[in-house]
Amino acid sequence: MGITVRTGNRLAAQSDRRISVVPTRIYSGGRTARSISGALYHVLESLGFTADQIDSNAIDALESTYWTPRGETFDFATGESTSALEMLQKICYAGMGYFLLTDGLVSAGREGVKPWVGMITPQETTEELQTSFKAPSQDDYDGVDVTYINGTTWAEETVQCKLPGNPTPLKVESYKLDGVLDQDRAYRIGMRRLLGYTLQRLQHTTSTEMDALCYEYMDRIILADDIPGSQTLSCLITDVSYNSSTITLTLSESPDWSFESPRVIIRNQEGSASLMLVPTRIDDYTISIPYNPSLEVETWAINDPYIEPPRLLFCSSVRVPYDALIGEISPGNDGTSSVSAVQYNPGKYAYDDASYPGDVA
């Protein structure tokens, strides 16, 4: 049904037939109504952003990979004044994601289980890695009540998010969720918040020169130190040779083969980090690993005075270095960049496909 709406007090006073309507905005450019990507494009374009300023590849990929297949939409109406940044954050959060700027473009990302994309070791830092731990206490939230608008009744309702074995939480966070009309989605987002309070207890801070600028907000990275007993050792790759089956590496330091089930992680010169690889000892300073095309060893610049050599982290497969999500990268006036990160734990996303079990006392 198509209608033309005229508003005003005079019209309302004279009208003896009134209807209730829940309108759905039709986005321009043929974009799907109620879609999260459509909402993002609508807000960004209304702010004057042009196509070459929007990371449409990332936004469209999120829509086709996650938001549309999972039935995640953005449904929101307000009569209050809201900043553009806050609205963009609301839109992304409804899709379990986040808004960010990347390479000069406005973009979006999705928080969840993901591979690491980089690594920061003592070879890159200008100050020691500092790690703080928040011990469990009675001040921690052990429950979350999520208030949302029900898409059928259009009334505020609340879903209770609790952990198994704790039917009566002592401290409950009250959180209002905008843009979501489904209790299952509200429950999933609430459980993410609750598990974040429970599982993300490590905070990391350090600083680098320009190395940290390789990464973005919420990237999963590895943070390592060389503290004795941590079963990690970072070093430089000073020489490399390879064939179709093996890559042979010469290192700046001698690895400690007493580590339990030793593994290596390589940080390429553009900042990306490899998966864990199984090394073989050749001599005190030389190891070999299976050839892996993802390492792009053919592109490495060794002994180039203008390019730093690749890094290698020698570690135990049992005691993996710190797994973290970047929270902030702050460039300084002296050419260094401060980095803060929070612990990455895939358990935070255990309820991403759950259904609301109902209120259980």
Q: Please report the sign of the dihedral spanned by the C-alpha atoms of residue 344, residue 347, residue 350, residue 351.
A: negative
Q: Per-residue pLDDT for 359 more than 90?
A: no
User: What are the sequence ranges of the domains in the chain?
Assistant: 23-110, 205-344
Q: Are 313 and 116 in contact (CB under 8 A)?
A: no
Whole-number pLDDT of residue 14: 54
* CATH 3.55.50 at 23-110, yes or no: yes
Entry pTM: 0.89
Q: Per-residue pLDDT for 62 more than 90?
A: yes
Whole-number pLDDT of residue 81: 87
Distance CA 284, CA 302 (A): 20
How many helices (H) does the chain have, and how many strands (E)?
A: 5, 17
Reported confidence tier of residue 22, pLDDT bands at 50, 70, 90: confident
Q: Where are the beta strands (DSSP E) in the chain?
A: 97-102, 105-110, 118-120, 125-133, 143-149, 156-162, 172-176, 202-208, 220-223, 232-242, 246-251, 262-267, 280-283, 286-290, 311-316, 322-331, 337-343
Reported confidence tier of residue 321, pLDDT bands at 50, 70, 90: confident
Whole-number pLDDT of residue 227: 81
Kindly give, in sequence order, each residue whose CB lies less than 8 Å from that of residue 30, ignoring residues fewer than 6 positions away: none
